């Protein structure tokens, strides 16, 4: 079998952690995928995958090979795109990640438009409230909220959001409205373990920063759940402005301590660098940047 084909099959199975999932992604039969993996392992003389009746896991040697195979396939794709010319429509597979709520509200519509515009493309979208390792997880494009560390990855800034403190009117009617950050110690605090940023709540006034560590009464593992608890009148939470926008507009939530708000944090589209500039990545980043820059809540006030 062709070595590049075998690499492609292994990458699909390794990323999907499933022979059946890899077969669906490639449009191949599961037996053909199994034969391809067996042929690759025989060629290399090393086990790349650990198999059980329920799971497929990449071995240590397999992880190294997976990283190399992704890079090689990407370089081959870029060479094909460069030879075809800049006017050729992108074709192939793209992996995208973003925070859960942001992905649902803003990235998914962009992906749908992208797929309609480029029928030869396929997209695998992973929406999670954690910072993904793009190289290890095979991700081409990520939407990140917050300051970016120094990296070999390229970033395009498309807007900003700010952190806001919110509660429902029914909660405030019963417990009162905090007039200063220190007053939050007397309130029910709801936090999400999936939220980005430090566990301390930061405030600012007259150019002076303040950090406050609060003891939450309710900790949930998703921003959706924290929002729902507070919407029902159970406590105070900290959100990003885009997460609270609709509920603030409807009056279901109220902003608190606005005079202590900290500066906004950037929203960026991060993607891997490449020598020729992959048409798949470039076209997606351009489309998504245009869409996100048109979202009012992401632009500075």
d(CA 293, CA 8): 35
In this chain, the answer to whether the domains covering 1-88 and 89-157+270-301 adopt an identical fold is: no
d(CA 166, CA 253): 6
Per-residue pLDDT for 195 more than 70?
no
Q: Which tens digit of pLDDT belongs to each residue from 5-58?
A: 899 899 889 888 889 888 888 889 989 999 999 999 999 999 999 987 677 889
Q: Can you tell me which residue has the tokens 């608890």?
A: 229
Paired residues of 24 in beta bridges = none
- At the topology level, CATH places domain 163-260 in D-Maltodextrin-Binding Protein; domain 2 (3.40.190)
Q: Which tens digit of pLDDT belongs to each residue from 98-148?
A: 999 999 999 999 999 999 999 999 999 999 988 887 877 778 899 999 888
Which pTM does this prediction carry?
0.70
Per-residue pLDDT for 61 more than 70?
yes
- At the topology level, CATH places domain 1-88 in Arc Repressor Mutant, subunit A (1.10.10)
265-271 vs 154-161, strand pairing mode: antiparallel
Specify the CATH superfamily of domain 89-157+270-301: Periplasmic binding protein-like II (3.40.190.10)
Per-residue pLDDT for 198 more than 50?
no
Arithmetic mean of pLDDT over the chain: 88
First-to-last CA distance in the chain?
A: 58
CA-CA distances (angstroms) from residue 133 to 48, 138, 141, 190, 263? 21, 8, 11, 28, 27
Domain ranges of the chain: 1-88, 89-157+270-301, 163-260
CA atoms within 13 A of residue 59's CA, in its CB half-sphere:
11
């Amino acid at each position: 079998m062709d070595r590049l084909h075998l690499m492609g099959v292994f990458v699909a199975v390794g990323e999907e952690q499933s022979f059946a999932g890899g077969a669906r992604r490639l449009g191949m039969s599961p037996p053909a995928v199994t034969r391809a993996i067996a042929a690759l392992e025989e060629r290399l003389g090393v086990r790349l995958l650990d198999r059980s009746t329920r799971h497929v896991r990449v071995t240590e040697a397999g992880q190294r090979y997976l990283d190399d195979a992704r890079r090689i396939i990407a370089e081959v794709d870029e060479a094909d795109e460069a030879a075809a010319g800049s006017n050729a429509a992108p074709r192939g597979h793209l992996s995208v990640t973003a925070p859960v709520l942001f992905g649902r509200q803003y990235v998914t519509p962009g992906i749908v438009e992208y797929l309609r515009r480029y029928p030869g493309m396929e997209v695998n979208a992973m929406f999670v409230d954690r910072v993904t390792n793009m190289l290890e997880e095979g991700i081409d494009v990520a939407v990140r909220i917050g300051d970016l560390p120094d990296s070999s990855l390229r970033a395009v800034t498309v807007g900003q959001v700010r952190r806001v403190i919110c509660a429902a009117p029914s909660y405030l009617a019963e417990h009162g409205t905090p007039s200063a950050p220190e007053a939050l110690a007397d309130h029910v605090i709801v936090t999400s373990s999936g939220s980005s940023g430090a566990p301390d709540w930061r405030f600012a006034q007259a150019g002076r920063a303040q950090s406050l560590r609060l003891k939450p009464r309710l900790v949930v593992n998703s921003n959706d759940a924290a929002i729902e608890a507070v919407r029902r009148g159970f406590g105070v939470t900290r959100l990003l402005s885009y997460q609270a926008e609709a509920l603030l507009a409807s009056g279901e939530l109220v902003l608190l301590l606005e005079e202590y708000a900290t500066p906004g944090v950037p929203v960026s589209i991060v993607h891997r660098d490449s020598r020729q500039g992959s048409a798949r990545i470039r076209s997606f980043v351009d489309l998504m940047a245009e869409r996100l820059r048109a979202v009012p809540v992401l632009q500075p006030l």
